[in-house]
Chain A
Amino acid sequence: MAAQILRRVVGSRSTQILSSPANPTSVLPALARAFSSQTPIRATLFPGDGIGPEIAESVKQVFKAADVPIEWEEHYVGTEIDPRTQSFLTWESLESVRRNRVGLKGPMATPIGKGHRSLNLTLRKELNLYANVRPCYSLPGYKTRYDDVNLVTIRENTEGEYSGLEHQVVRGVVESLKIITRAASLRVAEYAFHYAKTNGRDRVSVIHKANIMQKTDGLFLKCCREVAEKYPEITYEEVVIDNCCMMLVKNPALFDVLVMPNLYGDIISDLSAGLVGGLGLTPSCNIGEGGIALAEAVHGSAPDIAGKNLANPTALLMSSVMMLRHLNFSDKAEQIQNAIVSTIAEGKYRTADLGGSSSTTEFTNAICNNL
């Protein structure tokens, strides 16, 4: 019981601290030590391909300027398939994330070829990343058609329509299985309400099509309702996916936290990213069993501008802010986020994709100055 309360308060660090539960009284000093700014927390960093290494440098620079107690453990995608993981990601890389329980990932280009799993799929399966969290808010200073977007999409990431179970029934007739389980639905619903509570959000909306898919989306809804009852202070509502899309393009301010099965999550999270300016500005964080958090930039590796100091590091920086919030470094997170937002709002230093002409390093320096 005490361990559970501590886990809630302390967050993901608790699993290391509480790994020796034999003597509870010795836990508290260890806790205090972990949270002093002298003890850095190790985090795995996958710079990725293309523009990955450059924007990863930006993150390191900003973290250093903000005096964030994170020690990076860098891992790269290999050039050979590791037989232990069936992929270009080595076993050591995955173990690093499992050990550190937190990581940041840049864009990875999956090499063409057979005999290996896609990199994203490997990470997801090996680390059991079950929820994809994507906050979308309108950046003041970067004008889109919408200026009042402030929502978070939480997408179930392990099952649903993306279970990969398809087969041909007879020639010309193909079937695909959509799987919904109580376990996975409860798990993502629990995370969604927990996220809403710890981040001060008022409302959780479940997106579904249970009027047509009565058993599958119906089960997802049922699980969300069960979890909602445990959080009476949070408003709970259910919205059909097609209505949701229409409402999102007409009045996105209606939404706060959205939780949904896999396919709807894919669609809605990209739709919401489009409302605020696209994938180049959108942070993302994958939550795994045991409190693992792997923040990532969801844009591509942009090989055409790689190495030219032109890339926009905003998405990766915002994702690293999500990582800091997950670690309960709210002050640092707030400080860095404000610096990013005000730099973009000032408009003096903007990368090319935002309509400016600054280089990656100029933009990063401006953020450091704004800390």
Chain B
Amino acid sequence: MATPIGKGHRSLNLTLRKELNLYANVRPCYSLPGYKTRYDDVNLVTIRENTEGEYSGLEHQVVRGVVESLKIITRAASLRVAEYAFHYAKTNGRDRVSVIHKANIMQKTDGLFLKCCREVAEKYPEITYEEVVIDNCCMMLVKNPALFDVLVMPNLYGDIISDLSAGLVGGLGLTPSCNIGEGGIALAEAVHGSAPDIAGKNLANPTALLMSSVMMLRHLNFSDKAEQIQNAIVSTIAEGKYRTADLGGSSSTTEFTNAICNNL
């Protein structure tokens, strides 16, 4: 969605997030066989706390030339996203959850987030739990992303790490995303832009939105259908015969989609 320029209204994404209480943003990133990037062993999921943290929007000027911004961490929001992360790991057969933080410097805020994750981790003894400092995490991600499985983090780190991970596997055009809200609401979304320059020309790559719809199906426990569609997408890209322009091919949106349907 392109947010219209102007005042007097909230951004569309912000409205959705606030009204539906979407508290976790889930972004699985895995290397697509057939679409070669510098990395071929990425298989991780980033779970980002999406309501508070550094993006609380509470800033003010102290005196001229001195500005403050508040980063808020609450026990409630941290527990909520940690619970979701471990629940996701369990239901999707993932072995490890890593919390990304900077609690050595931000001892109270990130410290509280860590504390909440530790509490939840104790309830899931079968899942390996680890804590990784954000700067180490970034370094490890670019050197050896296979080290990571599920990552859970506060808002800002989540923003950075989820986009970094998307970059590892090919960019936002291929990355699915799902927002989880209170009461089990799930709003899957494609995170790329609206690309007005190619709109209506049958050139767009529907992969991100298709993958997001697969996430939606998994959330609804339609695992078989989800698996079927995902395999069709992955094999179509892997075959290389039908690829949209952004993946280096010359197929149109409809040709690509038909190929996927044939591969079901």
Residues of A within 8 A of B (CB): 144-146, 161-162, 164, 166-168, 171-183, 209, 212-216, 218-219, 241-243, 245-250, 263, 266-271, 273-275, 278-279
Cross-chain contact A175 with B163 (CB below 8 angstroms): no
Query: Chain A nearest CB: distance from B248 CB in Å?
Result: 14
Which residue on B lies nearest to A173, using beta carbons?
B74
Cross-chain contact A249 with B105 (CB below 8 angstroms): no
Query: Chain B nearest CB: distance from A136 CB in Å?
Result: 11
Cross-chain contact A178 with B163 (CB below 8 angstroms): no
Q: Which chain B residues in 122-149 approach chain A with CB under 8 Å?
A: 134-136, 138-143
B143 contacts which chain A residues (CB < 8 A)? 144, 274, 278
Tell yes or no: B4 within 8 A of A by CB: no
Q: How far is the CA of A161 from the CA of B39 in the complex (A)?
A: 32
Q: Which of B60, B64, B70, B167 makes the CB contact (< 8 A) with A246?
A: B167
Cross-chain contact B69 with A213 (CB below 8 angstroms): yes
A171 contacts which chain B residues (CB < 8 A)? 75
Cross-chain contact B70 with A176 (CB below 8 angstroms): yes
A173 contacts which chain B residues (CB < 8 A)? 72-75
Cross-chain contact A212 with B57 (CB below 8 angstroms): yes
Which residue on B lies nearest to A215, using beta carbons?
B59
A178 contacts which chain B residues (CB < 8 A)? 54, 68-71
Cross-chain contact B60 with A215 (CB below 8 angstroms): yes
Tell yes or no: B76 within 8 A of A by CB: yes
Q: How far is the CA of A168 from the CA of B66 in the complex (A)?
A: 23
Cross-chain contact A249 with B167 (CB below 8 angstroms): yes
Tell yes or no: B227 within 8 A of A by CB: no
B60 contacts which chain A residues (CB < 8 A)? 215
Query: Chain B nearest CB: distance from A234 CB in Å?
Result: 25
Stretch at the interface among B107-115, B197-205, B249-257: B107-115
Q: Which of A172, A179, A243 makes the CB contact (< 8 A) with B66?
A: A179
Query: Chain A nearest CB: distance from B225 CB in Å?
Result: 31
Tell yes or no: B55 within 8 A of A by CB: yes
Cross-chain contact A145 with B69 (CB below 8 angstroms): no
Query: Chain A nearest CB: distance from B38 CB in Å?
Result: 4
Q: How far is the CA of A145 from the CA of B31 in the complex (A)?
A: 15
Tell yes or no: B5 within 8 A of A by CB: no
Cross-chain contact B159 with A242 (CB below 8 angstroms): yes
29 example contacts (A-B, Cβ-Cβ < 8 A) are as follows A146-B38, A164-B105, A166-B108, A166-B109, A167-B108, A174-B109, A177-B69, A180-B69, A181-B65, A183-B65, A209-B156, A213-B54, A213-B55, A215-B61, A215-B69, A216-B59, A216-B68, A219-B65, A241-B159, A242-B164, A245-B138, A245-B160, A245-B161, A245-B163, A249-B167, A250-B37, A263-B156, A266-B134, A269-B135
Tell yes or no: B168 within 8 A of A by CB: yes
Query: Chain B nearest CB: distance from A211 CB in Å?
Result: 10
Tell yes or no: B181 within 8 A of A by CB: no
A146 contacts which chain B residues (CB < 8 A)? 38
Query: Chain A nearest CB: distance from B141 CB in Å?
Result: 7
Tell yes or no: B2 within 8 A of A by CB: no
Cross-chain contact B160 with A216 (CB below 8 angstroms): no
Provided the pairs A161-B106, A172-B74 are in contact, do residues A249 and B142 lie with their beta carbons within 8 angstroms? yes
A268 contacts which chain B residues (CB < 8 A)? 138
Tell yes or no: B195 within 8 A of A by CB: no
Which residue on A lies nearest to B52, using beta carbons?
A173
